[in-house]
Amino acid sequence: MKTTNRSAPEAASLQKGHLVIAGLGKSYQSQSVVSNMNLEVQPGEFIALLGPSGCGKTTVLRSIAGLVTPSAGDIRIDDVSILKHPIHKRDLGMVFQSYALFPHLTVWQNVAFGLKMHGTPKPQIAPQVEAALDRVQMRHLAQRLPAHLSGGQQQRVALARAIVTNPTALLLDEPFSALDAKLRESMQIELRQLQKRLLITTIFVTHDQHEAMTMADRIAVMNSGRVEQFDTPQAIYGKPATLFVAEFIGKTNRMSGNMVGRENGRALIRLEGREEVCLARDNPGLAVGDKVLVVLRPEKIELVPEGSNVNGYTGLLDGRVSEVIFTGEKSMVFLQSACGDFTVASQNRSDESVTQAKPGSTVKIGWNAADMLVFPAT
């Protein structure tokens, strides 16, 4: 597992919300759901647990919350193990897929519920509720029942209820999954801005890579109960530690080949289907002679206009276009080559590079060595 020591910008000034997961495991009968997971979250960080369905990310979140009892390991907040603490003693705010608002209580009463459960003195409840509603822009709807709110408004109420007690950490389990795409994007921005203002440690579970990239300081990519990589969004995208991470994040083109050498810090790869050797980003874990899989993202490939200078590319390939799909700012160009099928995400610019790419036509594509990611063949 690859990790970094990067913390949120505000972490140095905070004392509250340092979360450590050490050797966490969870099994149901003979099936391991989470295996030896280690993760350290700095105070004020926004962390996304990202992975496909069944990878164990929700089990981890529910273990932190106290809804699941781990089979092994420990969870500590501010150097104190919380495993023996009941749910209401863990000082956590939680928002899950179903917002779990009380239908018979108003917005104000829903938000006040947590304060009452915590034994907050009555004179302090009203100002704290109003402050929480102000933070999510819902004070004007304080007397409405949940049934009379939109999905986005219910989401804001659930967030207000989660933060009103000023918890040590905030746990979010795919809270935007029921919202339409435009509202989901808006709520992502709102939540991130709120989290930055409150400087609250946040653990966010999602299977949506765009959501994780947009919101998180760091992302833990999970697969089959393990963390494959824990790093910044930029590193997860640009320097994936494993083939799984590379192919789970974004779209990819995959090619097979052999590593035939190294030159000036680059790997020399001979792709199946061509004699020429091409340069790629080196992978220290590979040896000369190893069979490899090469990953190249569609947006890192360019259509090379006829007659243009090709000296700027370290890799070139001819292909026959099978389909072109216009998506607005980009066109997705699908082509067949000696090295297999390729997808190219080409910006719709004023030049003729895309207009030349018509079904049945032959085009040249180019890329740079730094964008070719090499992994052991599986």
- Tens digit of each residue's pLDDT (9 = 90 or more) over 230-277: 999 999 999 999 999 999 999 999 999 999 999 999 999 999 988 889
Query: How many alpha carbons fall within 13 Å on the CB side of residue 140?
Result: 2
Note the pLDDT of residue 230: 99
Assign domain 252-376 one CATH number from 2.40.50.100, 2.60.40.10, 1.10.3720.10, 1.10.1660.10: 2.40.50.100
What is the rounded distance in angstroms from the CA atom of residue 52 to the CA atom of residue 234? 20
What letter represents residue 101's amino acid? L
Domain residue spans of the chain:
19-245, 252-376
Q: Are strands 46-50 and 218-223 parallel, antiparallel or unpaired?
A: parallel
Instruction: For residues 296-322, give the mean pLDDT.
Output: 89
Partnered with residue 169 across adjacent β-strands are 92, 201
Instruction: For residues 71-96, give the mean pLDDT.
Output: 95
Note the pLDDT of residue 287: 96
Residue with tokens 């795409």: 181
Note the pLDDT of residue 354: 63
Note the pLDDT of residue 12: 38
The three-class DSSP label of residue 261 is strand
The yes-or-no verdict on residue 215 having pLDDT over 80 is: yes
Pick from 359, 370, 372: which is nearest to 254 by CA?
372
> Residue 117: in which H helix or E strand, if any?
helix 107-117
Neighbours of 143 (CB within 10 A): 10
What is the rounded distance in angstroms from the CA atom of residue 213 to the CA atom of residue 199? 19
Q: In what order do the strands lie in the sheet with 72-77?
A: 31-41, 19-28, 72-77, 80-81
What letter represents residue 163's amino acid? I
> Residue 237: in which H helix or E strand, if any?
helix 233-238
> Residue 244: in which H helix or E strand, if any?
helix 243-248
- The answer to whether 19-245 and 252-376 have equal CATH topology is no
Residue 7 — pLDDT band, cuts 50, 70, 90? very low
Tell me 11's DSSP state. Answer: G
- Per-residue CA distances from 267 to 27, 256, 263, 292, 317 (Å): 41, 14, 6, 11, 18
- Per-residue CA distances from 150 to 3, 131, 178, 191, 370 (Å): 40, 21, 11, 17, 46
Residue with tokens 């259509």: 303
- Per-residue CA distances from 1 to 43, 196, 213, 246, 301 (Å): 22, 28, 19, 14, 29
Check: pTM over 0.85? Answer yes or no.
yes
Instruction: For residues 70-99, give the mean pLDDT.
Output: 93
| Residue 195 near residue 168 (C-beta atoms within 8 A) | no
Q: What architecture is the 19-245 domain classified under in CATH?
A: 3-Layer(aba) Sandwich (3.40)
The yes-or-no verdict on residue 351 having pLDDT over 70 is: no
